[in-house]
Amino acid sequence: MDLVKEIEELLHYHECVTVPNFGSFLVSNSNAKVDLKIGKFVSPKRKVSFNALIKQNDGILAKYISSNKNISYQNALEEINQKIKIWFEKIKIDTLIFKNIGEFYLNAENKICFQAYNTKNFSHDFYGLEDFKRLPIKESELKIIINKEKNTKNIIMDNDKNENLAFEPESKDSGKKSKFKIVAIITSLVVLSVLGYYFGNEYIQNERIRSTEIAQKKIKNNVQKATYDIGSISSLELNVKANIETVEDDTVLVEQGNFYSVIAGSFRDERNAEKLLGKLKSEGFDASFAKNSPSGLFRVAYGRLKTKREAYQLLNFVKFTLELDAWYLVE
pLDDT in tens, 24-60: 999 887 777 777 667 676 667 778 899 988 888 988 9
Residue 299's H or E segment, with its range, is strand 298-305
Q: Write down the pLDDT at residue 240.
A: 43
CA distances from 328 to 55, 185, 281, 318 (A): 84, 65, 19, 11
In a domain, 288, yes or no: yes
- Domain co-membership, 129 together with 249: no
Domain presence at residue 122: yes
Question: Is the model's pTM score more than 0.85?
Answer: no
Query: H helices of the chain, where?
Result: 3-10, 60-69, 73-91, 139-150, 172-225, 270-282, 308-316
For position 50, what pLDDT does the model report?
Answer: 93
50: closest CA among 133, 112, 1? 112
Q: Of 111, 133, 155, at which residue does a domain stop?
A: 133
271 is a domain residue:
yes
Domain boundary among 108, 133, 158: 133
Residue 56 belongs to domain spanning: 3-133
Residue with more model confidence, 267 or 163:
267
pLDDT tens for 268-310 read 999 999 999 999 999 889 899 998 888 889 999 999 998 988 8
Question: Domain boundary at 86, 118, 133, which?
Answer: 133
Q: Residue 329 gets which letter from DSSP? A: E
* Alpha-carbon span 103 to 95, nearest angstrom: 7
Alpha-carbon distance of 331 to 316, in angstroms, equals 19
Q: What does the pLDDT read at residue 217?
A: 66
Can you give the CATH number for the domain in which 259 is found? 3.30.70.1070
Q: Report the mean per-residue pLDDT for the chain.
A: 76
In a domain, 95, yes or no: yes
118: left (phi over 0), alpha (psi -120 to 50) or beta: left
Q: Give SS3 for 202.
A: helix
Given a cut of 70, whether residue 174 has pLDDT beyond it is no
Choose between 277 and 180: higher pLDDT: 277
Domain-located, residue 117: yes
